[in-house]
Structure 1
């Protein structure tokens, strides 16, 4: 290969050694998850947007996994926004609605159902025969989660299987554009109708998590099961020995050694949950524990998930992913961390 610039990769911070999986007891997992949640509450999250939505759903999943009550932070956040009125202006504004659906199932309060219906109608008005565009002319993996996961939770809460079916259709439509038929990995997105074959880690986390949400709602969806299995098998095959994937998961020389914890957390959650759903558990479950063992040292005592890359627009060349800052706390890092630790707790308890 010519024209490569491995400068950023060569200057990547040293890796933190993984912990022994035996350290990850139910108590340790639950304590770490609660610290991540507490740190998330202190971030000053105020927007009805995608990072906040990932945190809200992660908090709900963790509380369910460890047997805690509904998190007051989630209830207060959602109620405050509903009282002010929500006005989605982008597909990334949809995912907080998954928390509305969850709260409706738990409480039966009609205001949560009304918010779900409003967001579902907004999506329906923008949906055509193909995949939802993230931006005009661009299909991004992010949308499979931001819209698809909402549709699953909304469909289950409102007893509308058509919404779950739409989530499945969207997932497969995105896979047709973004999933590499040779490897099974997902690209970040397309630009002006052309797929850019950069196998961004968080793209694979978004699509894998959306896939398990859909499969959990309808285990009969064999096409999603097959394509999700291909993706997760490829991720297990490309996983570094220390467990934490690079920002591009295929070992590209321009990003090799630049680890990305939010992607690893999201992929770990998907691996745990897919294994529980019967997708190659003998392969995926060990990969999930390797991922969490590698991730665990990157969670600080105050609950910050470090080495999470900033919000990342589609990059047209692999080098672009090597220069995204990762030195700040990010809500999606916290949220995907919550998903990972919740899924690990459930796995431990179900042994």
Structure 2
């Protein structure tokens, strides 16, 4: 291990004590989710981009879990962008379209379907035989969520099963590039070479995309097998306090540097995989440990703290030890919403 720099790890703040999972009642989960949503609204989100897309979908999932009407913020956000025009310029600009697909399923308003079709045209022009690239020469786990989840929602809303099949194909293509023998996924590849840094949020993106696809088509056994292997590996590496490190494999340069957005996303995936009957008891138990560890990091105003900033692919593990995590981030709020929504569904269905 010559040449490693564990300085950031050595000075990492100790984790907060987790709460007792039994205290996470339906009322507590719903109240926390609402506070997270209100804090996201207070951020003044206006861009048609990935963080906003994760928030929109998280708000819709929370509303569904609580039996609440469609959040006005989601409708107003989408309406403003429909009025000004949606012009994607990167694959990260696709995921907010999942909210359009959701709204189309709820309302039948053809404007939402038209928005989905425009985004599909842009995306289709970039899809080839291989995995979608995040940047030229680079395949990132993020894309399996940003494009894949959009495809799933459009497939369901527009009654186009071929879109769900394409999401599944992309997921498996990404798994081939980024998957390891351990079951974990790397963040990405650079110039055709996979960089074996097992970033937490990358694993959250792929896990959440995997459950979205399986919920749409439970017959996809190849995805079920690889998703099971990934989540099993994550469960085996989960710290006692419940919150995974920024790199989930315990690398000495990032050990003890926790990351809440990854934990939220992984927890949501575990809850939803368990609901599909995938290692239900083990995955559900791990998900509650994760949420119990995450809960103390949600402040009274709904901020999900200790969320790492937007993170480009790092070529060495040390790079992940110095990403700032001292500001509220839309993807932290959004993945928090996914986690509390999935926990609520679990509580109310048992």
The 1-side partners of 2:22 and 2:223 are apart by 33
The 2-side partners of 1:13 and 1:338 are apart by 25
State the TM-score, normalizing by the size of structure 1: 0.99
* Equivalent residue number for residue 205 of structure 2: 206
SS in 2 for 1:195: strand
Deviations 1:259-306 (A, max 9, x none): 000000000000000000011012101000000000000000000000
Deviations 1:141-174 (A, max 9, x none): 0000000000000010000000000000000000
Q: 2:16 matched to 1:19?
A: no
The 2-side partners of 1:87 and 1:53 are apart by 14
The 2-side partners of 1:12 and 1:179 are apart by 28
* Equivalent residue number for residue 176 of structure 1: 176
The 2-side partners of 1:333 and 1:282 are apart by 27
Question: What are the within-5 Å matches in structure 2 for residues 300-311 of structure 1?
Answer: 300-311=299-310
SS in 2 for 1:190: strand
SS in 2 for 1:155: helix
* Equivalent residue number for residue 252 of structure 2: 253
The 2-side partners of 1:308 and 1:153 are apart by 27
- Structure 1 unaligned runs (5+)? none
The 2-side partners of 1:330 and 1:207 are apart by 20
Give the CA deviation at 1:13: 1.2
Question: What are the within-5 Å matches in structure 2 for residues 334-349 of structure 1?
Answer: 334-349=333-348
The 1-side partners of 2:214 and 2:255 are apart by 32
Deviations 1:83-105 (A, max 9, x none): 10000000000000000000000
The 1-side partners of 2:283 and 2:201 are apart by 18
The 1-side partners of 2:84 and 2:111 are apart by 12
CA RMSD of aligned residues (A): 0.4
The 1-side partners of 2:26 and 2:2 are apart by 48
The 1-side partners of 2:124 and 2:81 are apart by 22
Question: What are the within-5 Å matches in structure 2 for residues 288-299 of structure 1?
Answer: 288-299=287-298
* Equivalent residue number for residue 316 of structure 2: 317
State the TM-score, normalizing by the size of structure 2: 1.00
- Structure 2 unaligned runs (5+)? none
Give the CA deviation at 1:121: 1.1
Spell out structure 1 runs of 4+ moving beyond 6 A. Answer: none
Q: 2:236 matched to 1:237?
A: yes
* Equivalent residue number for residue 161 of structure 1: 161
* Equivalent residue number for residue 282 of structure 2: 283
The 2-side partners of 1:345 and 1:299 are apart by 16
